[in-house]
Structure 1
């Protein structure tokens, strides 16, 4: 956590005030960048990627970078950069650092890059290139199949773990912890992998 994210007032906040706060990280913003590389420039582009990732990670609110390499014979790379808020994402995309990196990579690309910003479910159900968007009922069923077991298992497991600790075993605080764990699992662990696993059915 960076210094500007700290909120000293939380130290003296009441249990009710904490329970009423929004769960941190629930509105993660993901920028999806698609870049088509010149065939003769692939090696240089890969070196450029190695430079971008650590630089992006130094910006406030950064939550990770993923690079999806093209299929064999392809030249389109997809880079996803996650931030904890739209404001932090805009800081990165509006920065001189980002503009300088774009100027560096421009000669290596076969076309202008495409950038889209998505939040929450929009990113989980982003179709592969050339595929139509997932039908709404499939998005609903896939999300339900994850949320239903998690809402049963996570509170039950946490209740057993937190019961011996009176400070955190109260009704409101226990539910806050369960909500934070559930959202974290959905955003960072389960949905990114589950949607890839079910992609053939999802985008059929």
Structure 2
């Protein structure tokens, strides 16, 4: 089964400042929004990244299965009820960026470098995804591709692995391992 861009996992990043003195209220409203999102069809997960320095931008990252699921959330009564309160606590209109699939890996950095997990932990989690995926494809698929010349065989195997990692393994693995990847955010 192939995944078309309209079916791909979609991530929306919203940046906004809270009004001075209303930061705790804003954070509580974002957490309330996350609770409401849990009931939305296609919702995968969300996180809030607080500003590195006082008065800086908050980043709210929401993951949905499809663009249609994100659109349904945007048009939902639950979101409509929260928006006026978020606008009242927010200093400006949010700036949105929507990314899907591999675009999130190659787009400009959105999160401050200090909020990224340590590289060693990212490498370990990536290996935990790649090792079984590659092993499975080498065991199950490689024998069927053996009549092909080397480069087409490698091209097909790596394409299968990239598709599986991007839309299957890594979204689930990073969600499962988020406490390990970002221990300070979950302590």
- TM score, norm. by length of structure 1: 0.57
Candidates 83, 86, 95, aligned match of 1:102: 83
1:90 aligns with 2:74: no
Report the CA distance between 1:99 and its aligned residue: 1.9
Candidates 15, 34, 55, aligned match of 2:15: 34
Contiguous gaps of at least 5 residues in structure 2: 113-125, 145-156, 182-187
Describe how 1:1-204 pairs up with structure 2 within 5 A.
21-22=1-2, 27-124=8-105, 125-128=107-110, 150=130, 154-156=133-135, 182-183=165-166, 184-189=168-173
Distance 1:55 1:126 in 2: 29
Distance 2:56 2:162 in 1: 40
Offset from partner CA, 1:29-56 (integer Å, 9 cap, x none): 1111111111210111121122111111
Aligned pair count? 145
Distance 2:111 2:51 in 1: 10
Q: 1:87 to 1:42 in 2, by over 3 A?
A: same
Q: Runs of 4 or more off by more than 6 Å in structure 1? A: 177-180
- TM score, norm. by length of structure 2: 0.61
Contiguous gaps of at least 5 residues in structure 1: 1-20, 131-145, 164-169, 197-204
The CA RMSD over aligned residues, in Å, is: 3.8
Q: 1:47 to 1:22 in 2, by over 3 A?
A: same
